[in-house]
Amino acid sequence: MSEKRRDNRNRVLRKGESQRPDGRYMYKYTDNVNGQSRYVYSWKLDKNDRAPAGHQKDLSLREKERMIEADLFDHIIPHGGDMSVVDLVKKYVSLKTGVRHNTEANYAFVIRILEKEDFGKKRIDTVKLSDAKGWLIKLQKKDKRGYSSIKTVRGVVRPAFQMAVDDDLLRKNPFAFELATVVVNDSVTREAITRKQEQAFLQFIKQDKHFSKYYDGIYILFHTGMRISEFVGLTISDIDFDNRKINIDHQLQRKRNMEYIIEETKTAGGVRQIPMTNEVYDCFKRIIEKRKSPKIEPMVDGYTGFLYLDKNNMPMVALHWEKYFQHICQKYNSIYKVQLPKITPHVCRHTFCSNMAKSGMNPKTLQYIMGHSNISVTLDTYTHVDFEDAEKEIRRVSSL
């Protein structure tokens, strides 16, 4: 009968265990995927041992053995399949087909970050909960990235790690925590502007020699609640003057490579028909009357007759209008002491929704006009009320 192997403290070593000449312990085992030999090491055999001076704290060899045995029993692939975080995310992204170009841009943004970060090079099975939280905190505090950017990053990395769990590469998802409990939400909420501010803004545009050409479009944005991508995607055929309604069933986008594409509306509820007020009707009439007719009409995915064209006779996109709004606000605030807040095309949409809510429009009707897929999104606008709104509502109800 062979003599049992022992360590330098005369303790019996189990099958697969050994001690190297430098005192470090090693455990050899065979993985359950391709039958390769694997090794783990520790300066401690048992959890009650003390690690030699100068060495970092680590699990003991037998603690690691128990984790390996559990993984082998549950068919968890060892070492996370030797996959890095960035490789995991790339694999996850490669399986996402038919996504919109904005989503593709978000994927590329996250991968670029991971490729530059040491965190992206970490093997996925070595990423702990504290590592995941610490990395997101670093992105905000050290790298000065905004909450929305960090939310985008986590929105890609979290499901990628969940895929690893589902594929038996990991036991737990280290990103399964609420983001708001880790990083500070420092994003600025885009509030609706007051009716007085809206009137001042529109009046200024109407009277300005340069910006007056955008008045009709901006008035429409303030009084229909359309998304800017829906507005720029409108064609002449989408404007039904006979029935005084706007038909919305698509949106126009421009990719980073300057490719123009037509996409479905943001949500299923986005397909809708918006009634036109007399003022909105008149604005559309003027836009079409003043519209220049290029020698060759631009066509995007079969759509033609876009309302606004740029200097290259291509359809204007959201970025054009965002710049116009920015320049208008800058000019206004350079002239008047009473400053306007930041106004964007989305602020127009939010302002319209808020005004309709304050006017007592039925929430379900407002949900339809806004193209919200969920009534909770619409109801959020009803939180933008103050004492005067409450007072008026009480008086109205009391008079019934």
Q: Tell me the catalytic residues.
A: 227, 266, 346, 349, 372, 382
Contact 299, 186 (CB under 8 A): no
Q: Is the dihedral of CA 393, 396, 399, 400 positive or negative?
A: negative
Angle at 33 between CA 29 and CA 39, to 5 degrees: 25
Torsion, CA 335, CA 339, CA 342, CA 346, rounded to 10: -90
Could you tell me the CA-to-CA distances from 209 to 2, 215, 281, 369, 388 in Å, in that order? Answer: 100, 11, 23, 33, 37
- Residue partners of 113: CB distance under 8 A and separation at least 6: 120, 139, 153
307-314 long-range contacts, CB within 8 A, separation 24+? 307/217, 307/234, 307/235, 307/236, 308/217, 308/232, 314/260
Contact 109, 69 (CB under 8 A): no
Q: Token digits for 144?
A: 């000065």
Contact 229, 334 (CB under 8 A): no
**Three-state DSSP class for residue 257:** coil
Q: Which of 189, 300, 276 is nearest to 226 (CA)?
A: 276
What is the distance between the alpha carbons of residues 233 and 269, in angstroms, rounded to a whole number?
Answer: 17
Longest dimension (CA), the chain: 103
What is the distance between the alpha carbons of residues 29 and 39, in angstroms, rounded to a whole number?
Answer: 7
- Residue partners of 356: CB distance under 8 A and separation at least 6: 225, 366, 369
